[in-house]
C-alpha cells in the first residue's frame, strides 16, 4: 500500500469540492441540502461517504456527476469546473438502471458506443468486464433474466468499461440481501485492487465503508457538511480476515459513534 499512498501524495488532487452549497426550493420552502462543503479527493482514492438519511449525500453525488448544479461554490475535476454529465464519470445507482431491451453485452457496450468506440473493440472491452464480474455465461441475457446482484454487477461492468476518471456509486448494494451484498463488496474490492479508479461511494453501511474505503467521510445531519474524515489504513488485499480483525472493528465502532451522534441530532 505504501507505493500507492506515495503515488496519491505526489499527484494533484483529482477532485476539489470547493465551498459547495445547495439550496432546493420545495413546497415547504427552502431546503439547505449542503452547506459549505469542502473535500479534496486524490487520484485512485476510494472514498466512502456515510451519514444520516437526508444529509445531502445523493445531492453531492449528483453535483459530482454533473446531473445537478450547486447554488454556490464549484467542483473541479483535474482542475476543470464540472459543467454537465460526461462519460468521464461513471455512475452506479441503487436501482438497477439497466436498459431492459438490451442484453448484458449491449448494456455494457452502451457508454462505449456513445464514445464512438469501434464495434470489435467495444465487444472486446465489454466481454472483458463482463467476465471480470463473473457473468460470462449471461452475456446475451436480458436484465429481466438476472437477479438483483447480477444486475448490479452489470451496472459496475458498464461503469468500468468506459474507463471513467471518476466512479460515482450511490448505495449500489443497498437493495441487496446481506449475503449478496458481501459478495459484491469483495468483488468490487478485487476489481479496484486490480484496476484502481477514483471512487466516490455512498453507503448506509459503516462496515461496508470501512472494508472498501481508504478514507471515510462522515456527513453531519442536514444541512449537510463534512463532519469528519477518517483514514482507513488497513492493508490490501482486504479479505474476510480483515473484517474479523480487531483493528477493523475498532475503526468501525469509532465511525459508527460519529454517525450515531448525527442520527440523534437529525431526530431533534
Ligand atoms: P441523502 O442522499 O443523504 O439521503 P439527499 O441528497 O437525497 O440526501 O437530500 C438532501 C435533502 O435535500 C433532503 O432533505 C431532501 O428532502 C432534499 N431534496 C433532495 N432533492 C430535492 C429536490 N429535488 N427538491 C427539494 N428538496 C430536495
Ligand atoms: Mg441518497
Mean pLDDT of 54-79: 96
Instruction: Determine the pLDDT at residue 2.
Output: 46
d(CA 199, CA 225): 19
Burial per residue of 129-156, b for 16 or more beta-carbon CB atoms within 10 angstroms, e otherwise: bbebbebeebbeebbeebebbbbbbbbb
Q: How confident is the model at residue 60 (pLDDT cuts 50, 70, 90)?
A: very high
Residue from 55, 5, 59, 15 nearest 38 by CA: 15
203 Cβ below 6 A of ligand 1:
no
pLDDT tens digits, 227-263: 999 999 999 999 989 999 999 999 999 999 999 998 8
pLDDT tens digits, 100-156: 999 999 999 999 998 899 999 999 999 999 998 899 999 999 999 999 999 999 999
Question: How many other β-carbons are positioned within 10 Å of the β-carbon of residue 14?
Answer: 19
Q: How confident is the model at residue 268 (pLDDT cuts 50, 70, 90)?
A: low
* 194 contact partners, CB below 8 Å, separation of at least 6: 132
Tell me the whole-structure pTM to 2 decimals: 0.92
Q: Over pLDDT 70: what percentage of the chain? A: 94
d(CA 124, CA 155): 17
Decide if 220 contacts 262 (C-beta within 8 A): yes
59 Cβ below 6 A of ligand 1:
yes
33 Cβ below 6 A of ligand 1:
yes
Burial per residue of 43-53, b for 16 or more beta-carbon CB atoms within 10 angstroms, e otherwise: bbbbbbbbbbe
Please identify every residue whose CB atom is under 5 Å from ligand 2, which is an ion.
57-58
Q: Which helix (H) or strand (E) holds 179?
A: helix 178-194
Instruction: Determine the pLDDT at residue 211.
Output: 97
Q: Which CATH code for domain 2-88+205-267?
A: 3.40.50.300
Residue from 67, 255, 242, 35 nearest 170 by CA: 67
Q: What is the mean pLDDT of the chain?
A: 92
Q: How confident is the model at residue 222 (pLDDT cuts 50, 70, 90)?
A: confident
Amino acid at each position: 500500500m505504501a507505493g500507492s499512498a506515495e503515488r496519491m501524495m505526489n499527484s494533484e488532487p483529482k477532485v476539489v469540492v470547493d465551498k459547495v452549497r445547495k439550496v432546493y426550493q420545495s413546497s415547504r420552502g427552502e431546503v439547505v441540502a449542503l452547506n459549505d462543503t469542502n473535500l479534496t479527493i486524490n487520484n485512485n482514492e476510494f472514498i466512502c461517504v456515510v451519514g444520516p438519511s437526508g444529509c445531502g449525500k445523493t445531492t453531492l453525488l449528483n453535483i459530482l456527476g454533473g446531473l445537478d448544479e450547486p447554488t454556490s461554490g464549484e467542483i473541479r475535476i483535474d482542475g476543470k469546473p464540472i459543467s454537465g454529465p460526461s462519460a468521464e464519470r461513471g455512475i452506479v445507482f441503487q436501482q438497477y438502471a439497466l436498459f431492459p431491451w438490451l442484453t448484458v453485452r449491449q448494456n455494457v457496450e452502451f457508454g462505449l458506443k456513445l464514445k464512438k468506440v469501434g464495434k470489435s473493440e467495444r465487444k472486446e472491452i465489454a466481454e472483458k468486464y463482463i467476465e471480470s464480474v463473473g457473468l460470462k455465461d449471461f452475456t446475451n441475457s436480458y436484465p429481466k433474466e438476472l437477479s438483483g446482484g447480477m444486475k448490479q454487477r452489470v451496472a459496475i461492468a458498464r461503469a468500468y468499461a468506459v474507463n471513467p476518471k471518476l466512479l460515482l456509486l450511490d448505495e449500489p448494494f443497498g437493495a441487496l440481501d446481506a449475503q449478496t451484498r458481501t459478495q459484491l463488496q469483495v468483488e468490487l474490492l478485487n476489481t479496484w485492487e486490480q484496476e484502481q479508479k477514483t471512487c466516490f461511494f455512498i453507503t448506509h453501511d459503516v462496515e461496508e465503508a470501512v472494508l472498501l474505503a481508504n478514507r471515510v467521510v462522515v456527513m453531519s445531519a442536514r444541512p449537510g457538511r463534512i463532519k469528519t474524515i477518517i483514514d482507513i489504513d488497513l492493508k490490501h488485499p482486504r479479505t474476510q480476515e480483515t473484517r474479523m480483525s480487531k483493528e477493523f472493528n475498532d475503526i468501525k465502532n469509532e465511525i459508527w459513534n460519529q454517525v450515531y451522534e448525527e442520527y440523534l441530532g437529525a431526530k431533534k
